[in-house]
Amino acid sequence: MISMKFEPKDENFVEKVRSSFAAQAIMKVIGAEMTRVEAGAIDIELPYREDLTQQNGFVHAGIITTMADSACGYAAFSLMPKGADVLSVEFKVNLLSPAIGERFLAEGRVLRAGKTLTIVQGNVFAFSNNQSKHVATMLATVMCLQK
């Protein structure tokens, strides 16, 4: 329904996003990787691991949120000018299905990029036997801090 093309303001945005993601220590702890970096569009993937789960063996909603927040934050960051810093202001998450599967994909897609605030939609999918299921959807506000 809504899809957009964005012009990056920083030509080195791919390198900038990847090096910032590499500095997120928590991503190594949970085993998440960034698998797509485009202007306004980021994908993060995570294999299932038993130690990331809540009491029923589903990946904890907070870990699904961790993936989605980084995907949304970096989707916003990819459009920010050189030297700017990125900050998550707030997000809302609806959990649509239990997070069970072999691996998980979080997509962050910018809806509107403003000078100070960027609004981003996140969606998380679970994959099992080559079938995908929509696990969670996020709506996030991300701030650009100019130095």
Binding positions for a second copy, rule: CB under 8 A: 1-3, 20-21, 23-26, 28-29, 50-56, 60-63, 65-70, 85, 87-97, 107, 109, 111-112, 116-117, 119, 121, 123, 134, 137, 139, 141, 143
Cα–Cα distance for residue pair 5/119, rounded to 1 Å: 14
**Pick 94 or 129: Cβ nearer a second copy:** 94
- How many C-alpha atoms does 122 have within 13 Å on its Cβ side? 35
Of 78, 88, 81, 86, the residue nearest 38 (C-alpha): 78
Q: How far is the CB of 130 from a second copy (least distance, A)?
A: 18
CB of 69 to a second copy, least distance (A): 5
Provide the minimum distance between the beta carbon of 129 and a second copy in the complex, in angstroms, as a whole number: 21
Terminal alpha carbon distance of the chain = 36
